[in-house]
Amino acid sequence: MTERAQSTQRALRLGTRRSKLAMAQSGHVADAVRRLTGRPVELVEITTYGDISREHLAQIGGTGVFVTALRDALLAGEVDFAVHSLKDLPTTQPDELALAAIPRREDPRDVLVARDGLPLAELAAPAQGRVARVGTGSPRRMAQLNAYARDRGLRIETVPIRGNVDTRIGFVRDGELDAVVLAAAGLNRIGRSGEITEYLSVDTVLPAPGQGALAIECPAADEELVAVLARLDDPHTRAAVTAERSLLAALEAGCSAPVGALADLPPSGDHDVHEMRLRGVVGTTDGSTLVQLSTTGPVPTSHHDAVALGRELASEMLAKGAAGLMGERAL
């Protein structure tokens, strides 16, 4: 067997975080790459700083804490490619690494897992006779949930939490919290969507930029692997999340800042839709002040167009005072 033939048979090493969700996400990508290449793919588990720190994400900076160790492994040649939750990626892409594919996005919405199967409006209604304790590790969610409750006369206390899905849902099952807020995509990917009490409308809580999307990254110098992985890319998802992440970058905010964004096609009965709507929000965590704006433009046909859409909305939000609400700046 020639050296070339032996090389094509070597297992591709996929770097992944160790959590149940990360392993599930990486497993789906591994299956897709096996089908594309006919080569075996092995998962290489890597522990990141974000996995071992017990501090809240806002305290440890958020930006890159789940990503740096995976990128170091890529650059050291210890793995061939890596899978990230896109919302965890810093907005600046290293020249040495290629964002080879962003597969089709899962449901980007946030969801509630609550006691007694209650939706938020009932859980936190004054008639309940007490303040509903709602757990989340996200300043973005806190800001929007508190603003929503304030506007509707609901009684909630947002409680900062950390931990994996089991830990977070356990806070509700044990009675420590009345509800927790999680990402729909994560629960769907690990087969636990049946535990969702309520899907939170994006009109109530805008998701994190890139939420629900995965990022497949590999060394930029490996042009053959870049080309293979690129076949998993979904152009619409890439355009949408590029606009969202451009907004985040232009606001000079890290991924733990209270910034929400979602780019999507506006509702239409006409299948020939040519516009994309981008919505953004920044707020104080107590919900007392929100800057929430949207813009609509042609569906981006290039990276430059998607970036421009995000920067345009960020500029409008900054003009409305968004800079003073974020509480952190990018590292």
3-state SS, one letter per residue, for 89-112 = CCCCCCCCEEEEECCCCCCCCEEE
Active-site position among 31, 72, 88, 107? 88
Note the residue count of the chain: 331
- Interacting residues of 111 by C-beta distance below 8 A, sequence separation 6+: 181, 182, 183, 184, 187, 196, 197, 198, 199, 200
Question: What is the dihedral sign for C-alpha 186, 190, 196, 198?
Answer: positive
Interstrand relation of 132-136 and 179-183 (parallel, antiparallel or unpaired): parallel
Interstrand relation of 214-219 and 290-298 (parallel, antiparallel or unpaired): unpaired
183 vs 108: CA distance, rounded Å: 7
Question: What is the dihedral sign for C-alpha 210, 289, 276, 196?
Answer: positive
Examine the residue annotation and report whether 88 is marked as an active-site residue of this protein.
yes
Q: Are 265 and 276 in contact (CB under 8 A)?
A: yes
Catalytic residue numbers read: 88
